[in-house]
Amino acid sequence: MSIDVKGLVHVYHPGTPLETKALDGVSFKAEKGSWVAVVGHTGSGKSTLAQHLNGLLLPTEGSVSVDGIEVRQGEGSLRKVRQKVGLVFQYPEQQLFEETVFKEVSFGPRNWGIPADTLKDRVEEALGLVGIGSDLYEANPFRLSGGQKRRVAIASVLSSGPDYLVLDEPTAGLDSPGRRQLLDLLSNLKALGRGIIHITHDMELALGLADMILVLDEGRSSLWGRPDIILGELIERDVRGLVIPDMVRFAGRLRDLGFEVPLTWEPPVLAEAIYRSQGR
């Protein structure tokens, strides 16, 4: 069970003065129950890629398939895919519109025609996952705090019961407690067997949390692999289109200077290695 992206090309406004190639031959695979981070700058094509995973955009060339269903026009493919793949846009709290938290979260399931008797369970389950208690079910979503709003918005996607969750920069604008809480939620969802596709510009986050990392640069995939492999690449060479985290650059510099520093992402391990290397 996976999302398979093969040779994906997307051209905006084909045949007009505004024609731009946003994606150029991107391939990767996101398994259910795993965490894939898609890392790149603004304009690298991350958001365009995200919108292909649930058929909001359709490939100009190449293919996207979800659990074997090809994403394309017709035969109800799009509806099936959109139900399987939940998409959380950047600043998702901006899409809230209902009068109560409960109604907001039931918007999705109702659109998918989920019967009334299971609807309530779905909504309560989703709100439970994001840590919103029953005391807030009747609250006005616009009156919640920033972090709460964001979690309600994510619950409103989870309530449709997606197997995969695509999140575009889900921690943007949150402070570190809010960020921690959100990342815990995503780890939890992964443990429950959902596939997480995390679109971010934060390499530090990706290295620490993802099972697989895809680096996008100007619409092309410049790296694809496990975090330790990616870390090695980052230390060894300049990867186009990335701001290398300070710690990685630091480790790289020390290696160049003859320190025996392992490929690690743990600050204490790095510090320990420097200490031992220095002692010799």
Partner 1 sequence: MRFLNNMTLGQYVPVESLVHHLDPRCKIVGVLFCLVGVFMVKGPLGFLMWGLLFLLLVSASRVPARLVLSTVRPVWILVAFTAVIHLFFTRGEPLFSWGIVEITREGAVMAARMGLRLVLLVMYAGLLTLTTSPTELADGLESLFSPFRRFGFPAHELAMMMTIALRFIPTLLNETERIMKAQIARGAELERGGPLRRLRAFIPVLVPLFVIVFQRADDLATAMEARNYTGGEGRSRMHPLKWSVRDTTALLFSVIFSFAAVFLDGRALLP
Partner 2 sequence: MTENCLVRFSGVSYTYPEAAAPAIADIDLKIASGEWIAVLGCNGSGKSTLAKHLNALLIPTQGDCFVNEFNTRGEDGKRSARRAVSMVFQNPENQIIAAVVEEDVAFGPENLGLPPEEIRARVSWALDVSGLGKMARKPVYALSGGQKQRLAVAGAIAQKPPCLVMDEATTMLDPRGRQDLMEVLSTLHSGGMTLVSITHRLEEILRCDRCIVLSGGRISWNGTPRELFLLGEELAMWGLEVPGMVKVWRELVQKGLLEAKIPPLMGEMVEALCR
Q: Residues 220 to 249: which contact partner 2 by CB under 8 A?
A: 243, 245-247, 249
Q: Binder to partner 2 among 41, 72, 80, 255 (CB under 8 A)?
A: 41
Determine, following the binding rule CB under 8 A, whether residue 253 of this chain makes contact with partner 2: yes
Buried b (16+ CB within 10 A) or exposed e, 95-123: ebebeebbbbbbbbbeeeebeeeeeeebb
Give the x/- contact pattern for partner 1 in 169-188, rule: CB under 8 A.
--------------------
Determine, following the binding rule CB under 8 A, whether residue 135 of this chain makes contact with partner 2: no
Please report the sign of the dihedral spanned by the C-alpha atoms of residue 106, residue 110, residue 155, residue 142.
negative
Does residue 11 come out as left (phi exceeding 0), alpha (psi in the -120 to 50 range) or beta?
Answer: beta
Q: Binder to partner 1 among 20, 95, 118, 187 (CB under 8 A)?
A: 95
CB 46 within 8 A of CB 22: no
Q: Which is nearer to partner 1, 92 or 227 (CB)?
A: 92
Which does residue 147 touch among partner 2, partner 1, none (CB within 5 to 8 A, set by kind)? partner 2
Residue 176 burial (10 A CB sphere; 0-12, 13-18, 19+): exposed
For the CB of residue 157, give the shortest distance to partner 1 in the complex, in Å. 6
For 251, phi and psi rounded to 5 degrees? -60, -40
Q: Residues 142 to 161: which contact partner 1 by CB under 8 A?
A: 142, 156-157, 160
For 45, phi and psi rounded to 5 degrees? 105, 5
CB 191 within 8 A of CB 208: no
CB 105 within 8 A of CB 127: yes
Q: What is the residue-wise DSSP string for 223-241? A: EEE-HHHHHHHHHHSPPTT
Q: Which is nearer to partner 2, 78 or 247 (CB)?
A: 247
Helix (H) or strand (E) holding 86: strand 85-88
The β-bridge relationship of strands 35-39 and 85-88 is unpaired
Helix (H, G, I), strand (E, B) or coil at 138: coil
Residue-level length of the chain: 280
Q: How many residues bind partner 2 (CB under 8 A)?
A: 38
Stretch that binds partner 2, among 21-29, 35-43, 77-85, 102-110 (CB under 8 A): 35-43
Stretch that binds partner 1, among 36-44, 81-89, 251-259, 270-278 (CB under 8 A): 81-89
For the CB of residue 14, give the shortest distance to partner 1 in the complex, in Å. 11
Q: Residues 96 to 125: which contact partner 1 by CB under 8 A?
A: 96-97, 107-108, 110-112
Determine, following the binding rule CB under 8 A, whether residue 87 of this chain makes contact with partner 1: yes
Residue with tokens 């779905």: 122
Q: Applying CB under 8 A, which residues contact partner 1?
A: 12-13, 16-18, 51, 54, 56, 79, 82-83, 86-87, 89, 92, 94-97, 107-108, 110-112, 142, 156-157, 160
Q: Applying CB under 8 A, which residues contact partner 2?
A: 41-43, 145-147, 172-180, 201-204, 243, 245-247, 249-250, 253-254, 257, 259, 265, 267-268, 270-272, 274-275, 278
